[in-house]
């Protein structure tokens, strides 16, 4: 795990996973899916909504629906920096 990811988690960020269902530009009756993951803040989800806006402005395939989940991996009270040494034999 990256040092920056740990700092984000300690600030309250959690892992957000979204599945985007979109229509193919040339075949409107075909649905395709795309998986997106990033660290985001619940309940506002600024990064997720920024990506949805990007999709609507830049991607030709119109969105059909978005399904997402959010999991807070650690919180500030759940993490402690431990320093120690264990000797065996």
> What pLDDT was estimated at residue 4?
86
Contacts of 35 (CB under 8 A, 6+ apart): 17, 18, 19, 20
> What pLDDT was estimated at residue 3?
76
> What pLDDT was estimated at residue 85?
64
pTM: 0.76
C-alpha to C-alpha distance for 18 and 37, rounded to whole angstroms: 6
Q: What percent of the chain is modeled with pLDDT above 90?
A: 63
C-alpha to C-alpha distance for 10 and 73, rounded to whole angstroms: 9
């Amino acid at each position: 795990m990256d040092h920056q990811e740990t700092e984000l988690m300690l600030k309250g960020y959690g892992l957000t996973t979204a599945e985007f269902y979109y229509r193919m530009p040339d075949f409107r009756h075909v649905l395709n899916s795309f998986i997106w993951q990033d660290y985001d803040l619940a309940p506002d989800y600024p990064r997720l909504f920024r990506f949805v806006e990007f999709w609507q402005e830049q991607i030709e395939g119109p969105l059909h629906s978005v399904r997402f989940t959010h999991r807070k991996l650690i919180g500030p009270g759940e993490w402690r920096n431990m320093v120690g040494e264990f000797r065996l034999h």
